[in-house]
Structure 1
Amino acid sequence: MSLRQCLLVIFLFFPLSSWAKFFSAPILNDAYQLLDTNPEQSRTIAEQYLEQRQISPGQDPNRIHINNDSERTIRTPISTVEAFQIKALANKRLDRNRKSIKAIKQAISLAKEFNLKSGYLESKLIYAGLWWNLTQDVDETNAILEDIAQELTQHDKQIAIHQKLYFALALIHAEVESMQGNNSKAQQYYKQAMSHGIALKDPSSMIFYHISYGKYFLKNKQFDQALTELLSAYWQSIEADRSGQLATTNYLLGQLFFERKVLDKALEHASQSAEFYGRYNNSKQLSNVLILIAKIHLKQGRFNLALVQYFNALDQEKEKNNVNKLISLRLDIANTYFLLYNYALSEHYLKQANNLNEYVNLPKEKANAALLQAKLYLVQNKTEMAIEQIHSAIKYSQKDNNILLKLQSQKLLSKTYEKMGKYQLALKAQREFETLNSSIQAVQNEINEDVFRQQKSIIEQSLHYQGLELKLKENNLQTRKIQKIAGFLLVLLTVISIYAFRKQQVNRFLKKRLHLLLNKYYTHPRSGLRNFRLLTERLPSSLQQSSSNIEQWHLGELINEPLSDRLRFTLFHIPMLQNLYFTHGYQEGLSIEKEFGDYLSTVVSLPSRIYHFSDASFLYIEHKSDSTSNSQEMAETIQEWIHRFDSKVMTDKTVNIGMVEYPFLPRAYTAINDRELIDILLMATNTACKMSTKESNCHWVHYRAIDNAPAASFASNNIQLACEQAINQGLIKVTTSIH
């Protein structure tokens, strides 16, 4: 269930428009918003809603009403209860108390019939507020509130709507106890209301709490506490943009400053409140604000301005036909004319007030009327008749227990007796006046003592806060220093980070560029294969490492024998590539050679490697352990590669192949270095080329040293001559494609 109208009871204190509500039917939201500004229209909307729609009990009673074409003729039980609640509140605004009580009883009955627990409790709470406002019956009101409290204990207290009900319940209890003079109990209930208001986390609830508590202090003449609460409500209303609550707060602040005789501030706040209520001519609160402004002007001695405001308020009350207010306003106007020495108009309005006073029992108004009539008689030197009116004023002031009116009456009585020469009676009246005044002064002194104690506490807190403020300033200075240092370090760190990032980007760029350069440096520019430069760069160090490992193994520093996997070096020469550029041109030659290089890269798989040795020669290196093929099979594999290359230009697939193994000498691993090994490989390939020239066919030559070939046979500066001698001596076995 939404928090639509769970706190309607607050109409007892302040305008409902200051509270945000959500009803099950949108039209009821509109009616609710008009309660303060146009209660008659609000009542009309609620009644039309009840008359023009039929209740639909077959539906879920808690279902929210949807305002569409299919449901504009029905109303749910929950919306019906809400409509009766609004009707009751509108009638209360219009001073139709019996109709108000009747409407809220209908809401209670309907909520009970359809088992709407929240709606039932809300309606009973509104009824309690209406009953208290109408009868001031403490026992009956407390009984109703006790029933509500017992029923609330059966529900989850943490639910927001129940929190608001507890909040409103505590405020009504506080109002009842305050009216009885039980201030300690009243403040306990205000504390309970505050705890529930904080739990709600609703700005409007807390603003209303401060307004209600401030009004309580204002009523008890505790002006400092009232100022604290009302200022809290004032600023919170501004922050939360609650214009209705702000207008109420301004009205109460105007009253507070008027009581403390700070008339300029009182007029400022009252004018702000009147500006809001002035937008709604039928607003009940507008006449109250106008009366307050009139009283302020009266205190300032601006009687004509006061009369203007009184007449404006009188126009407002005539439309509502509020007898109490009409009598009070006419008496105020009569008193203002008396101060302006316009005794005829003063007597005229006094007579109108007395005519209405005959039909009502209002001791305060009758006392004011009698007192003003006595003043008029004194102006006319009708002292006896003035004495009679003064005694009548004293009698009515005692009925109303209005000490201020009785004080004014006793003072005027003393002066009148003194004017008549009846000094004994004048002295007696003066003593009565002094007795009353002393009692008022005693109360004022008690209030002043409480104010002094509060001021003492405020001063002590102020001194404490001054010390804290000095510490705070020192801490702020230290914080600023730290912030500056932190800012400098942050800037420095940012600069360093930017520099490091820049360096990283430069290094990454340089590495990428170096990688590209290395690739270009060690890559053949036409075929894209590894070039001879890379072979001559890496092969010596590789063979040197192998030699070192062999020596370590011989010395016992290595457990496993290195180079147990022999390498086979195969150099194949393709004559067609040598004449490619001459026969087909540079562009076509580049294209064919690159295509051939890409092709060879695909047929050779790691760890085997292939190098573009020279223009028409390619060096292929593989682990001999990776392939069990003999030299003839290896040659056939190379020839198959060449034949499988699909090219219309490269028609001559002749290939000449030379093959050797490393280590070349099985018993002397370090006897022949890389350059000598390449020389032997070139000799084998050259022999194959010579054979191909004679027979115009593919040929291969394989040189392999016998197992017992001594290293001394190759200890010569001319490895090719040494190799030829070794072949003649039978130390190198030559295998060819012919035999």
Structure 2
Amino acid sequence: MIFSVAVLVSHLAGAPPLSPYQPEPNELLRARQLMLSRPNECVALTNYFLQRKEVDPAQMINSRQDFDHQELARLYRTREQSLAAWQIQALCQANEGLLLPADASINQAIELARRHHQPEQQATGLLLKAKLSLARQQPEQAQAQLDEAAALLGPEAAAPLYDALQLLQAGTLLHLHRFDEARQAFEQIRRQALQQGDALQQAWANYLLGEYYQWLQQGELALAHYVETLDLLSKRRQYYLKAMAADKAASLYAALGEADKAVQYASLATTEFELLGNPPLLIGSLLNLGRVTRAGNDANLALVYFFNALDLVKLQGDAELMARLHLEIGHAYLLLQSFDEARHYLGLARSAFERSQDIPRQIDTLLQLGRLHLAQQETGLALLQLERAKQLAEQRDDVPRLIEIHHQLAQLFESSGNMSQALVHHKAFHAYFERASRLNRLLTQSLVQGNDLQLQQERELTELRRQGEDLQQDRQRFALLAASLSLIAPLLLYGMIRNHIRSRRLQHDNKELNRLLLLEPRTNLPNWRQLMQRLPQEMAKRQQRSEQWYLNEAEAQPFNDKIYYFLLHVPFMVDLSERVGLEHAAAIQKKLGDYLQGRIHPKARIYDLREGQFIYVISQRQVVDLNQTLSSLERMFTEFPCQFELDRRLAIGIIGHPFLPKAPHALDDMRLGDILYLAMAAALQLAERTGEQAWVELLAVDCQQAAFFNGEIRHCCIQAILKGLVKVNSSHKKQQIDWHALAPEPAAPI
């Protein structure tokens, strides 16, 4: 049982402020967290804590005995902690429905505060005691307690105490049926909260105003206040208040016949109660959600909610609540025309209500059983159930239920053809209906003067207030947005232009850097990076053509689509800087690069590998005669104009790719490069021995010899040359080449 004035839970349920050296014990912290979700555990924790002995706070401070201080904090409680424990226990007992024990607990807190001259804590206890008095329907006693609490609060008292006092005073006026004063008090609280920006206090005032209008049977105004409460708390974690407001809104929408809205708000209430973690409240919310869903002609979904609630009730063992759920489930099955299930659950509900002497719900169950028998055309059984229901309702003079019973009896006799009895029950139905209407009119007239005018005024005021708040918020947002845009727009524009210019400059610099990275800076010729960038694609293309040639059995001619790689060793480029100086060397290298670009074949390429080495690349289709191409290369360097004496004796290594036409994938670019450097090494050996220009070409014979080249490629290639698997062409006698001298030798062990 959690009361409608539960604002005290958030404001007053906790302990009073403790000294910095007195942290709140774990038991009280945990109890405060469980106050709404599991009040029975909260009571157990506070009982356990109150078993400690009370000690003077001065004993808790001893800077020279830390161990004693820790032991005292664990085994004893201070006066402030005792006050907090009694207050928390009172609220937890009240939330569990134990009103008398709750009153005893709060009396302990009040007496403790009075004995130690703590007026604020004494006032806190009196506010809680007034709250309990309202729950027991004793508003006069609550009024006296609130007056005593107000006298204790001085001007320096905490603002939350004043807020709680105002809400409780207004709620007490409502229970005393002083409706005009209550409405004025709630409106005053709401205006103050709006001015102070206290959305929670404003929400509570709105919620209690909704209860005020429900007292006056003005459902539309009550509904407007409940919805406004939910709007104020939309982004706050006030689960209990949001759940209660949504639950009330769902009931009012259901009464107005707006099933979709009723289901929406009932679902919201269930979600908030689930977040709150209080099983009884969650069960009640699921029950209400099932009812409004069933009223919206979705009995199947309603059964889901009812059975979810039933599972929770079985865990708690509440027989009365279980009987109510059996009644609702039986009603839902009856709407679905599942008569066997309806009979089973309605029978369980009837037995339980008879045992507990719950006459009103026993009447409701008999009415549903009467409808069940009518639906199965069991007129006699239906008449027995309805007559028993009529007898019980007449004993209690229960006018609303008598209206429904006579309506059902009139339908029963009409369906059976007994028109005289049907007429009797129709007359009784209209008599009770007129009596209920007359009572409602008298009650409404006694509660409200000028009801229609007030209703219209309140509607207009509520709508104008909401429109004004929305307009004010829109103006503030617009002003903030306009100011922000006026400040940010020039900065954004400047940033965009600056970033665009910087991006363009960086893109240009990046392109230029990429271009320069692919050129040798001394000669401005393409360098090894550009060679390695292009080499894999070029090799893959030739490998594909070689495979096509090999698979085409009709072609008998040898493969003639190789690419020749000439690795040139230019002696004068090796030590040019040492011989002529940096300045002249730089000019000669630049001049050589420009010169070579203009002298090479239009479809050939030349790369500067540094260290006096160049690679000349040309397709076999552009080479009419290899000797002629070699003469052209030698002549190109011989005719290079230079003022200094240069050593122009070239040593050239030559290979073609694919090196193995029938196994083009056997050698990758690195292994191919090793063979090319081996050919150039042989040419250098010839040039040193003869003192002339020299060239060496390595050419694999046309057979399946790919397996021979597995392993260290330079060694394998020399062995292949010696075995005749690789043919050697050279500018001089090839017998002058010492291939063993060109084999790599491992380092001698140290």
Q: TM-score, normalised by structure 2?
A: 0.52
Identify the residue that residue 55 of structure 2 maps to in structure 1. 56
**Structure 2 vs 1, CA of residues 426 and 236 (structure 1 numbering), >3 Å: closer, same or farther?**
closer
Identify the residue that residue 141 of structure 2 maps to in structure 1. 143
2-structure distance, mates of 1:428, 1:128:
48
1:309-324 mapped onto 2 (5 Å cutoff)? 309-324=305-320
Q: Deviations over 1:318-371 (max 9, x none)?
A: 333445433322221222222222333333323322333235454432331232
1:155 alignment partner, one of 112, 130, 153: 153
State whether residues 120 and 152 of structure 2, in contact with CA within 8 Å, keep that contact through their aligned partners in structure 1.
Answer: no
Identify the residue that residue 298 of structure 1 maps to in structure 2. 294
2:79 alignment partner, one of 74, 77, 80: 77
Q: Deviations over 1:665-697 (max 9, x none)?
A: xxxxxxxxxxxxxxxxxxxxxxxxxxxxxxxxx
Identify the residue that residue 275 of structure 1 maps to in structure 2. 271
1:173 aligns with 2:172: yes
State whether residues 49 and 85 of structure 2, in contact with CA within 8 Å, keep that contact through their aligned partners in structure 1.
Answer: yes
State whether residues 289 and 302 of structure 2, in contact with CA within 8 Å, keep that contact through their aligned partners in structure 1.
Answer: yes
State whether residues 39 and 94 of structure 1, in contact with CA within 8 Å, keep that contact through their aligned partners in structure 2.
Answer: yes
Identify the residue that residue 393 of structure 2 maps to in structure 1. 394
1:105-124 mapped onto 2 (5 Å cutoff)? 105-124=107-126
1:184 alignment partner, one of 174, 180, 183: 180
- Letter of the structure 2 residue corresponding to residue 375 of structure 1: R
State whether residues 31 and 86 of structure 1, in contact with CA within 8 Å, keep that contact through their aligned partners in structure 2.
Answer: yes
2-structure distance, mates of 1:26, 1:164:
27
1:335-484 mapped onto 2 (5 Å cutoff)? 335-378=331-374, 379-382=377-380, 384-395=383-394, 398=397, 403-418=399-414, 419=416, 420-421=418-419, 422-436=421-435, 438-439=437-438, 451-452=455-456, 454=458
2-structure distance, mates of 1:310, 1:73:
47
Which runs of 4 or more aligned residues in structure 1 lie more than 6 Å from their structure 2 counterparts after TM superposition? Answer: 443-449, 456-466
State whether residues 86 and 106 of structure 2, in contact with CA within 8 Å, keep that contact through their aligned partners in structure 1.
Answer: yes
1:125 aligns with 2:121: no
Q: Percent identity?
A: 18
State whether residues 370 and 392 of structure 1, in contact with CA within 8 Å, keep that contact through their aligned partners in structure 2.
Answer: no
1:223-234 mapped onto 2 (5 Å cutoff)? 223-234=219-230
1-structure distance, mates of 2:82, 2:383:
63
2-structure distance, mates of 1:430, 1:105:
52
State whether residues 417 and 423 of structure 1, in contact with CA within 8 Å, keep that contact through their aligned partners in structure 2.
Answer: yes
State whether residues 230 and 242 of structure 2, in contact with CA within 8 Å, keep that contact through their aligned partners in structure 1.
Answer: yes
Return the offset for 1:87: 1.8
1:517-556 mapped onto 2 (5 Å cutoff)? none
Return the offset for 1:201: 5.8
Identify the residue that residue 44 of structure 1 maps to in structure 2. 44
Q: Deviations over 1:3-32 (max 9, x none)?
A: xxxxxx984444877669653425324322
**Structure 2 vs 1, CA of residues 10 and 309 (structure 1 numbering), >3 Å: closer, same or farther?**
closer
State whether residues 14 and 248 of structure 1, in contact with CA within 8 Å, keep that contact through their aligned partners in structure 2.
Answer: no
Return the offset for 1:279: 4.5
CA radius of gyration, larger in: 1
2-structure distance, mates of 1:46, 1:388:
53
RMSD: 4.4
**Structure 2 vs 1, CA of residues 154 and 449 (structure 1 numbering), >3 Å: closer, same or farther?**
closer
State whether residues 124 and 149 of structure 2, in contact with CA within 8 Å, keep that contact through their aligned partners in structure 1.
Answer: no
2-structure distance, mates of 1:460, 1:48:
53
**Structure 2 vs 1, CA of residues 114 and 459 (structure 1 numbering), >3 Å: closer, same or farther?**
closer
Q: Deviations over 1:135-170 (max 9, x none)?
A: 42x3xx412431431342253256325413422431
Q: Deviations over 1:509-531 (max 9, x none)?
A: xxxxxxxxxxxxxxxxxxxxxxx
**Structure 2 vs 1, CA of residues 368 and 447 (structure 1 numbering), >3 Å: closer, same or farther?**
farther
2-structure distance, mates of 1:67, 1:406:
70
Identify the residue that residue 250 of structure 2 maps to in structure 1. 254
Identify the residue that residue 645 of structure 1 maps to in structure 2. none
Identify the residue that residue 307 of structure 1 maps to in structure 2. 303
Q: Deviations over 1:368-390 (max 9, x none)?
A: 12322333454521254144224
Q: TM-score, normalised by structure 1?
A: 0.53
Identify the residue that residue 623 of structure 1 maps to in structure 2. none
**Structure 2 vs 1, CA of residues 406 and 348 (structure 1 numbering), >3 Å: closer, same or farther?**
same
Identify the residue that residue 35 of structure 1 maps to in structure 2. 35
**Structure 2 vs 1, CA of residues 453 and 120 (structure 1 numbering), >3 Å: closer, same or farther?**
closer
State whether residues 31 and 43 of structure 1, in contact with CA within 8 Å, keep that contact through their aligned partners in structure 2.
Answer: yes
2-structure distance, mates of 1:167, 1:455:
25
- Letter of the structure 1 residue corresponding to residue 150 of structure 2: L
Identify the residue that residue 547 of structure 2 maps to in structure 1. none
Deviates more, 1:432-441 or 1:94-103: 432-441
Q: Deviations over 1:67-98 (max 9, x none)?
A: 96542222122321221222222223333344
Kindly tell me the number of residue pairs found equivalent between the two proteins. Answer: 457
State whether residues 290 and 309 of structure 1, in contact with CA within 8 Å, keep that contact through their aligned partners in structure 2.
Answer: yes
**Structure 2 vs 1, CA of residues 241 and 147 (structure 1 numbering), >3 Å: closer, same or farther?**
closer
Q: Deviations over 1:281-312 (max 9, x none)?
A: 54332112211211121012111211111122
2-structure distance, mates of 1:237, 1:437:
38
Q: Deviations over 1:566-615 (max 9, x none)?
A: xxxxxxxxxxxxxxxxxxxxxxxxxxxxxxxxxxxxxxxxxxxxxxxxxx
State whether residues 130 and 141 of structure 2, in contact with CA within 8 Å, keep that contact through their aligned partners in structure 1.
Answer: no
- Letter of the structure 1 residue corresponding to residue 34 of structure 2: L
Return the offset for 1:205: 2.3
1-structure distance, mates of 2:186, 2:317:
35
5+ residue gaps, structure 2? 19-23, 61-67, 491-750
**Structure 2 vs 1, CA of residues 39 and 357 (structure 1 numbering), >3 Å: closer, same or farther?**
same
**Structure 2 vs 1, CA of residues 276 and 148 (structure 1 numbering), >3 Å: closer, same or farther?**
closer
**Structure 2 vs 1, CA of residues 78 and 100 (structure 1 numbering), >3 Å: closer, same or farther?**
same
- Letter of the structure 2 residue corresponding to residue 43 of structure 1: V
**Structure 2 vs 1, CA of residues 237 and 165 (structure 1 numbering), >3 Å: closer, same or farther?**
closer
Return the offset for 1:411: 1.8
1:265 aligns with 2:261: yes
1:87 alignment partner, one of 82, 86, 89: 89
1-structure distance, mates of 2:274, 2:43:
21
5+ residue gaps, structure 1? 1-8, 489-739
1-structure distance, mates of 2:142, 2:440:
39
1-structure distance, mates of 2:195, 2:122:
23
State whether residues 314 and 329 of structure 1, in contact with CA within 8 Å, keep that contact through their aligned partners in structure 2.
Answer: yes
1-structure distance, mates of 2:142, 2:324:
33
**Structure 2 vs 1, CA of residues 459 and 294 (structure 1 numbering), >3 Å: closer, same or farther?**
closer
2-structure distance, mates of 1:80, 1:198:
36
- Letter of the structure 2 residue corresponding to residue 173 of structure 1: T
